[in-house]
Amino acid sequence: MIPQALKQELLHRVKEAITPREAAVDVMKALQQHYGWLTDEAVGEAADVLGLSPLQVEELATFYEMIYRRPVGRTVIHVCDSISCWAMGGETLLKQLEQRLNVSAGGTTDDGSITLVPCSCLGNCGDGPALMIGDRLYGPVSMEKAEQIISGLPSAP
């Protein structure tokens, strides 16, 4: 159950939006931050706050790659899988990260510290290949730069 203060904040966000759906991503991200991922309970709470059905929230949640419907590591690395990044070495970067972290794309390291997620586009096409950790965007990323980034993570394996 979400704390009352968070619920009030989310209700305020919905009230300020033109339509409840406009606030849906913000609400889901806030609940994801609270729980660590968007649990089934959080889907129901989001539906309640947004005035939508749980199915409508589920549809939105599964559309957005940065809304996690299953547990993830403490750090999530999104690797851009767009054609621009792919052409600039994104596929190779993803394979190298899989080897470095000993995890398949979409998976989480054994210690639960890092989840590696390919995503359709990070909107950084001019600086591909790109990756994103939290709200920070990196690019262009060589494997050497990726190693520096990973080594600087508090949960680096």
Q: What CA–CA distances, in Å, run from 5 to 2, 13, 46, 112, 150?
A: 8, 13, 15, 29, 35
Q: What is the pLDDT of residues 12-34, one digit of tens each?
A: 999 999 999 999 999 999 999 99
Cβ count within 10 A of residue 31: 25
Q: What is the pLDDT of residue 154?
A: 76
Q: What is the pLDDT of residue 48?
A: 97
Q: What is the mean pLDDT of the chain?
A: 94
For residues 138 and 132, the answer to whether their CB atoms sit within 8 Å is yes
Q: What is the pLDDT of residues 69-118, one digit of tens each?
A: 999 999 999 999 999 999 999 999 999 999 999 999 999 999 999 999 99
What is the residue whose two structure tokens read 């009230």? 15
Tell me the pTM. 0.84
Over 70: is that where the pLDDT of 155 sits? Answer: no
For residues 156 and 54, the model is more confident at 54
Percent of the chain with pLDDT over 90: 93
What is the residue whose two structure tokens read 């989480």? 108
Instruction: Please provide residue 113's backbone torsions phi and psi, each rounded to the nearest 5 degrees.
Output: -85, -35
